[in-house]
Amino acid sequence: MIRLLSDNFPDDSFTYGTSQFINQSNHNSVDIVIIDVETEGEILPTARLYKKQQKKVIIWGNPFNKNELTELFKLDLEGYLYRTMVKEEVLNALNIILKGGKYIHPALSNVLLEEYLALTNEAGNRPDKLLTKREWDILELITQGYSNEQISKQMVISDGTVKNHVSNLLKKLEVADRTNAVLTAIRNRWFIIK
């Protein structure tokens, strides 16, 4: 990576290395910091530090820890590079970043998409007195595709009790069947569908 940077970007100031190396070095004149995630250092604090210093921060690695990658996405870094990238891909990504853009390797986009969907599919507020707590719990299990028998086992209640709760919640929601209850719940964003 160091040779690739020096050969192709002689006029730009990059720092590349482990987060421990970067943390121990004084890089005031550096504009872009590339952090190798396969190191033992603390990646998140290092990325935060350089973002606060108005540096462009690029993460380079494989594999990524999903939870850590999600936190790194929240930092709005300039680049998320995958170690398996070929030279041309790396050069393209760095050129995009140098021109003020952002780059996320396609192999990492699933994690970003999952995070986006989780944020946009957050459950909305449920009407306080529409259903009882038990009915809300049963409706949530219905939206997840549970049958009455599965709900009975999950909640450790009898099939008859489940049927009574389902009947009550259908009346309260003013719907004819479970399918319409699920559609009502989704339309009103009462639950996150995964």
pLDDT of 17 higher than 60: no
pLDDT of 14 higher than 70: no
96: CB partners within 8 A, 6+ apart? 102, 103
Q: What local confidence, expressed as pLDDT, does residue 105 receive?
A: 86
pLDDT of 46 higher than 70: yes
pLDDT of 130 higher than 90: yes
The torsion angle over the Cα atoms of residues 5, 82, 62 and 43, rounded to 10 degrees, is 70
Residue whose token pair is 């339309």: 187
pLDDT category of residue 157 using cuts at 50, 70 and 90: very high
73-92: pLDDT as tens digits = 888 899 998 888 888 998 89
Q: What local confidence, expressed as pLDDT, does residue 28 receive?
A: 57
In this structure, are residues 121 and 98 in contact, taking their beta carbons and an 8 Å threshold?
no
Task: Specify the pTM.
Answer: 0.55
